[in-house]
Structure 1
């Protein structure tokens, strides 16, 4: 039995297909790369192939708007310009920096510090060059490892993030299925071009094929092949909604870390009013509530909690 051509059988044969003609697939690839190289957003991490600088940008960019990441990234690298500098830093200073720049999830700062330490102590100061090796670093999952391998070493696989899923879903009718997205993303990416390709397809999703598509305004290079452009159906894959940040545990955890970054240590009743205005030692949002948050942060290795003279004190680790 003859195996089906993968370019015409994306998902059980029921989705619009990529161009079956190899020449057409080459044209799809060339059109995107030409579009990207002609004009794209000039983020500073796109001008470097340093894996440390790229790792910092990738970790900072998780669920943070890129325009906000730029000044934080530049300030971070000015303070800790190399992995060796970061590894030698006091982790509490790194966490305090992260919190003061509102980069979210302070655990990321802790993991970034630990990853830099691993590079120095376990890898002789040299980053692994492939996704598998990069995943050995603390806090580096498959997506981040692949991005660093792609942008630093041109040795990655196809990146699949929310933007890429939206592009593939609309352009080629790929069903809302992670395996299908991975398969088609790998199929479309030209061999040995992960650096430019992954930058280009993410740029397409961020600039031309966003939640509100800008096909003509942005000169989308895939209009002649795009299923959504042809049909006018610009629906997109379901994206999980983030829980509300306002009033969440995450918000108050961040406030605790940010506040402790300004002091050597604070007692519960000194810290509480700085975290929320309605703090009342024996009230609903009092010492027990605050202890619970501090226990989480202590378990995460971000905060040290100590009892002295019947009082509880907290400081950044």
Structure 2
């Protein structure tokens, strides 16, 4: 049985864990990707980067992040903005589900109205903000306040699985990540271990090319077996429901309002009122957007529904 297949009660971290920790931190501090959000400890700027990065490659996030903060540099200015403008920005920059823009807007309002403009600092408190789940809360606590727990994302799981034979089990990953993280250093540690998974221990590893600092301890490097936990496949954007949600938002920004069929023909060339991608399909899409607080759908008996972008500051 390989280390990677060992049962949960048989795996162990290296005896010289202190050396393991220092090797990774030194490697990261010596040379790492220079994303602008790594040069700030402003919790608002970090929250924006985390939300934008959820479905977008980091290289593309940089321009969107800088433009967003130039337009809305503080939570106060974001909270006062028209939601339709924020959602439109999200759509224009292809930043994933546009309800995340709505949640970011609402979270800014919470910071201003419930916290007097000061961000909460712990993962538990940060989860009280709209749309902020455990992972994002921990990231903001770590990178803004150096007050987070060990991050456990897909990259971290892959590193721990390969290097130390931690089994594909969420509890085991959390335990191992927590045991490894040096106390009081969540900012540098979480950045470092995610960087390791992002540039050295990718699906196709680049151990020597990236100068992986854990080669002397890594079971996969010693054995040549670089299997890793399964990674969920990201659905294709082209033709997806997410793509057409964005098209609806983008089209409604150009018009005060549109009837159902007019909107349908503008967002897809194969729209046919009675077809597979027709009124039922579009009504379902609009109903979802209405539930998310992004669209108003006016239903009048005997007439086609009319859709308009919701605007509220």
TM-score, L = length of structure 1: 0.93
Asked if residue 172 in structure 1 is aligned to residue 170 in structure 2, the reply is no
Structure 1, residues 288-313: CA drift from partner, whole Å, max 9, x if none? 32112111111111111113582322
User: Higher relative CO (CA 8 A, sep ≥ 6), structure 1 or 2?
Assistant: 2
RMSD: 1.5
In 2, are the aligned partners of 1:57 and 1:69 still within 8 Å (CA)? yes
In 2, are the aligned partners of 1:10 and 1:184 still within 8 Å (CA)? no
Structure 1, residues 83-138: CA drift from partner, whole Å, max 9, x if none? 11110011111111101110111111111111000000111100001101100000
Offset at residue 245 of structure 1 (A): 3.1
Decide which of 14, 23, 35 is 1:19's aligned counterpart.
14
Asked if residue 315 in structure 1 is aligned to residue 312 in structure 2, the reply is no
Partner-residue secondary structure (3-state), 1:304: strand
Offset at residue 158 of structure 1 (A): 0.3
Aligned to 2:260: 268
Structure 1, residues 267-289: CA drift from partner, whole Å, max 9, x if none? 22221112100112333322232
Query: How many aligned positions are there?
Result: 304
In 2, are the aligned partners of 1:150 and 1:156 still within 8 Å (CA)? yes
Aligned to 2:92: 100
Aligned to 1:215: 207
TM-score, L = length of structure 2: 0.94
After TM superposition, the runs of 4+ consecutive aligned structure 1 residues lying more than 4 A away are: none
Offset at residue 10 of structure 1 (A): 8.8
Segments of 5+ residues of structure 2 without an aligned counterpart are 1-5
Offset at residue 244 of structure 1 (A): 3.5
Q: Distance in 2 between matches of 1:276 and 1:266?
A: 15
Equivalent residues in 2 for 1:103-252, closer than 5 Å: 103-252=95-244
Asked if residue 29 in structure 1 is aligned to residue 21 in structure 2, the reply is yes
Q: Distance in 2 between matches of 1:141 and 1:47?
A: 23
In 2, are the aligned partners of 1:10 and 1:180 still within 8 Å (CA)? no
Q: Distance in 1 between matches of 2:29 and 2:235?
A: 37
Partner-residue secondary structure (3-state), 2:299: strand
Partner-residue secondary structure (3-state), 2:298: strand
